[in-house]
Amino acid sequence: MLKVDKLIIGFDNALRTLLVPANTIRPVPGRNLPENELSEAEKRESVALMRINHVGEVCAQALYQGQALTARNVTVQQALSQAAREETEHLAWTERRIAELGGRKSFLNPLWYGGSFTLGLVAGVLGDKWNLGFLAETERQVEAHLADHLRRLPYQDVRSRAIVSQMKVDEACHATMAISHGGGELPLPVRLAMKLGSKTMTRTAYWV
């Protein structure tokens, strides 16, 4: 595909992610579970955590877009596309859950998207080994952060919990996919910098 075509598709994807409700092929996890009553404080906590998860999925969209634009190997491109489709579902699930809880998404989504897209491009330019290594490390960190959310989400908010649980399973599969396609182990300082970056993102998205 021509570079300019890819750029137009990338721009279109950015607008879709930020402005249009995402679609899901798989049914939303927990859709048949009851909407248990939550106190105001519990609802606030659930909304804040699901907003963080939604921001994470906005970042995942951008990251995969950036990487798909630069990935060299066709098999890698296909594996990235499959994972990206699941990330779109995660985006849809978290978006719907925030609406069900009467919450709002992050005001800073365009900023998160832009930053992650740039990171994806840089990782892609470094070649498939580092591109996939960066992806695997991102997915591992997301999986750990989802495990933390399962500890923090109100116990009776079973619908949010079902979504986060399925996302956690999917993110682990994405990490395995990236490693099996040749992802390299990132140097420790890079892993630590990524942790610091994601901490900044999650702390900010908790509020805005």
Residue ranges of the alpha helices (H) in the chain?
3-19, 40-70, 74-100, 109-125, 128-152, 158-180, 188-207
**Residue from the set 160, 174, 202, 205 that interacts with Fe ion by CB under 5 A:** 174
Nearer to Fe ion, 159 or 174 (CB): 174
Candidate segments 27-35, 114-122, 125-133, 170-178, binder of Fe ion by CB under 5 A? 170-178
CA distances from 139 to 87, 151, 173 (A): 11, 19, 9
Least Cβ distance, residue 22 to Fe ion (angstroms): 11
In one-letter notation, the amino acid at residue 117 is F
The tokens for 116 are 């992650």
Joined together, the tokens standing for residue 10 give 């990338």
Q: Nearer to Fe ion by C-beta: 128 or 139?
A: 139
- Smallest separation (angstroms) from Fe ion to the CB of 90: 4
Q: Which of 36/180 has CB closer to Fe ion?
A: 180
Choices 46-54, 74-82, 83-91, 92-100; region in contact with Fe ion by CB under 5 A? 83-91
Chain positions contacting Fe ion, by CB under 5 A = 60, 87, 90, 139, 171, 174
